Amino acid sequence: MSKKSLAISDPTSLVFGVAPHPVRCGFELKIGSGEVYPELNFTLPTLTISEDLWPTVLTHYRTIASDVLRRALALQVPGIVLEFELLPAMTERPEWGAEITSLLHDQMKASWQKSGLRSALRVTPTDIREQGKPPILRKSDPVRRLLRSFQLNAAAGAHILSIESVGGKEIHDRALMYGDVRGMVFALGVLAPRDMAWLWEQITAICRAHGAAIAGGDSACAFANTAMQLAHQHLLPEVLAAVVRAMGAARSLVAFEHGAVGPSKDCAYEGPVIKVITGCPISMEGKSAACAHFSPVGNVAGAMCDLWSNESVQNIRLLSGNAPEVFTEVLAYDCRLMNEAAKHGGALTLRNWLVASDEWLSPQAAVLSPDATIEIANAIVGASGD
């Protein structure tokens, strides 16, 4: 652990919208400097991704961007992040992912030039390295495709690069299912950090080479969110899921030790610990991500966020429009309330309500409270050795 002190040591300074080290990216967007912005994530409806249907795929993404930006302008959002999370086929064939990145970038640019909408595009290639058993994480065709995907997407106009890396997942999956805490510690504390240190050196080098992209962050999604979903189905104890979340923070921090600057990934619920240690802005998801999955942390997750996300929603028709633009509206109103509270000096009060409404109902929520966050962060920076 290279960091030995906290960027935020006072729990009352740990609030939404404000990070000690804000980041500038995209089209004049500054994240973590006082306002919370929506981060809209989207995916395709049931559809085979193939050469034949590729024009249909492009039409979906073109429509999504157009719908979302129109709704954001109608709601006068002060800024927005769009996250394009690549599907496996779009990382397997990096040119496909880059083509979509390019079209999203162009529409966001047009919206900024025409209407002044500040925005940034986060692009998250799929970690496709875990295809064989055992997975080959450093030298294989999937590794080459993954790194090429980062390069092409950076060149095509991505403003923030992220990943949900899977180093150590093979061991963690088995340990989690057998309740083997030593196995989980080994996966999250040794295997995953070794992989992330290597991977994030590559990602930050690509960002440096392309200039316009920043290294966002990683997520313990494959570990802690798996535990969260299994706990939701009563397949694992909730306390175990909370412990995995806390352990996941030390893992996700490695990206920041190797060049990431934030905003961290939305599904990294361990984000508050990252923010406390590094001072970098974070993205979080909660109640407005119910379109994607259940969580017992719907309000508390927003208490310390700098971007507020819906995780993922299919491009399907709802009564008021397509689902991505509908969720743009949901997020816009969530953020508007947080920003208004902050403007009137009520950020801490609203934060405390968001925390209090969840923290006594689930250990997974309790572990995200500001007090628990600071305690976990102190334990991480206080640990001796690497």
Does 314 participate in binding other proteins (rule CB under 8 A)? yes
CB of 16 or CB of 150, closer to other proteins: 150
Rounded alpha-carbon distances, angstroms, from residue 78 to 34, 103, 157:
11, 22, 21
Site string for other proteins, 332-371 (x = CB under 8 A): ----------------------------------------
Question: With CB under 8 A as the contact rule, which of the stretches 12-20, 27-35, 172-180, 257-265 interacts with other proteins?
Answer: 172-180
**Strands 307-309, 37-41: pairing kind:** parallel
CB of 48 or CB of 349, closer to other proteins: 48
Does 45 participate in binding other proteins (rule CB under 8 A)? yes
Q: Least separation, in Å, of the C-beta of 17 and other proteins?
A: 32
Footprint on residues 208-267 left by other proteins (CB under 8 A): 226, 230, 233-237
**H helices within 233-322, ranges in order?**
238-257, 271-278
Does 178 participate in binding other proteins (rule CB under 8 A)? yes
305: closest CA among 327, 274, 260? 274
Rounded alpha-carbon distances, angstroms, from residue 308 to 32, 43, 108, 172, 192:
12, 17, 19, 28, 26
CB of 108 or CB of 123, closer to other proteins: 123
Does 56 participate in binding other proteins (rule CB under 8 A)? no
Amino acid symbol at 308: W
Does 87 participate in binding other proteins (rule CB under 8 A)? yes
Q: Which residues are registered as beta bridge partners of 25?
A: 29
Judge whether 89 and 111 are in contact, CB under 8 Å: no
Does 49 participate in binding other proteins (rule CB under 8 A)? yes
Q: DSSP 3-state assignment of 84?
A: strand
Total number of residues binding other proteins (CB under 8 A)? 31
Judge whether 161 and 154 are in contact, CB under 8 Å: yes
Q: Least separation, in Å, of the C-beta of 140 and other proteins?
A: 14
Q: DSSP 3-state assignment of 281?
A: coil
CB of 1 or CB of 44, closer to other proteins: 44
- Kindly give, in sequence order, each residue whose CB lies less than 8 Å from that of residue 221, ignoring residues fewer than 6 positions away: 164, 265, 267, 268
Question: With CB under 8 A as the contact rule, which of the stretches 43-51, 65-73, 250-258, 355-363 interacts with other proteins?
Answer: 43-51
The Cα 246–Cα 384 span in angstroms is: 18
18: closest CA among 3, 4, 37, 38? 37
Footprint on residues 98-137 left by other proteins (CB under 8 A): 126, 128, 130-131, 133
Q: Least separation, in Å, of the C-beta of 2 and other proteins?
A: 31
Q: Least separation, in Å, of the C-beta of 133 and other proteins?
A: 6
Residue of 116, 179, 346, 382 interacting with other proteins (CB under 8 A): 179
CB of 276 or CB of 313, closer to other proteins: 313
Report CA Rg, the chain: 19
287: closest CA among 337, 343, 253, 244? 337
Residue of 106, 173, 257, 375 interacting with other proteins (CB under 8 A): 173
Instruction: Work out the burial of residue 214: count CB atoms within 10 Å of its CB; fewer than 13 is exposed, 13-18 middle, 19 or more buried.
Output: buried
Write out the residues near other proteins by the rule CB under 8 A: 43-49, 87-89, 126, 128, 130-131, 133, 173-174, 176-180, 226, 230, 233-237, 293, 314
